[in-house]
Amino acid sequence: MTTHLPAASAQVSPRGRPRDASRDRALMDATLAELQRHGYSGLTTASVAKRAGVSTATLYRRWRSKQDLVVGAAQAWAENLGPDHDTGSLEEDLGALLHDKALALEGPSGRLLRAVLGEAAHNRALADVLFDAFVLPLQDRVFALLERAVARGEIPPVEDPLVVAEMVIGPMVSHTFLVPEREADTPAPGRDIATRLLPYLLRALGHRRP
């Protein structure tokens, strides 16, 4: 899964030079691998360049600094939540979103997030990009599916949609990041918890079952 190509890697370069997509991909792969292995503070641009098979000069043409590189990687890897699904049913919309988020957290997106969460506690640029790239897209999908469900009369108006978004993202994050393999009796703990969460979320929203 480490070699999964960020869907939008072509958009994340901060500089104006002609781009080589395979080099960018190698650099994003290498950044994730180095982050997982050594954490933010242990990562060096030299080791990323070496792992990606490019010179540090090449790396610096694309990314001015280590922080720039990691922020770029967070943007690149975060983009695999997938599009909004409008199925005409809250249960199916929410189930699809939970499943998409679980897949993202089990994959490179989740590994990136996990590796930089600690650094984001005292790195404003990184905290901002994590929020923009991981939290906002999920919130948008939650807000949209709630609005549709209210419009269809499936649920009463939602007083606090932000809390509902936290109830979608939070249990997936805690279950994927905090339950060791010895405790998870499934190879896909995120997707397992997604399925089990759904009925509780529907009840929390006052969903009237058809």
Q: Which residues bind its own copies (CB under 8 A)?
A: 35-42, 111, 114-122, 124, 127-128, 130-131, 134-135, 160, 162-164, 166-167, 169-175, 177-183, 193, 196-197, 200-201, 203-206
| Nearest residue (CB) to its own copies, 5 versus 179 | 179
Q: How far is the CB of 71 from its own copies (least distance, A)?
A: 13
Cβ closer to its own copies: 7 or 200? Answer: 200
CA distance 27 to 43: 13
Q: Are 199 and 166 in contact (CB under 8 A)?
A: no
Cα 8 to the chain's mean position, in Å? 13
Q: Which CB atom, from 17 or from 122, has the smaller least distance to its own copies?
A: 122
Contact 43, 34 (CB under 8 A): yes
d(CA 34, CA 131): 22
Shortest Cβ 22–its own copies spacing (Å): 27
Burial label for 34, CB within 10 Å (0-12, 13-18, 19+), is buried
Minimum CB separation of residue 165 from its own copies in Å reads: 9
CB of 98 to its own copies, least distance (A): 12
Nearest approach, Cβ of residue 27 and its own copies (Å): 20
Given the complex with its own copies, which of 16 and 41 has the nearer CB atom?
41
- For residues 28 and 73, the answer to whether their CB atoms sit within 8 Å is yes
Integer Cα distance of 169 and 151 in angstroms: 23
Looking at beta carbons only, is 181 or 210 nearer to its own copies? Answer: 181
Least distance to its own copies, CB of residue 87, Å = 22
Give ∠ CA 60-65-69 in degrees, rounded to 5. 85
Which is closer to its own copies, CB of 62 or CB of 101?
101
The sign of the CA dihedral 152, 153, 154, 157 is positive
Report residue 39 as tokens: 């954490």
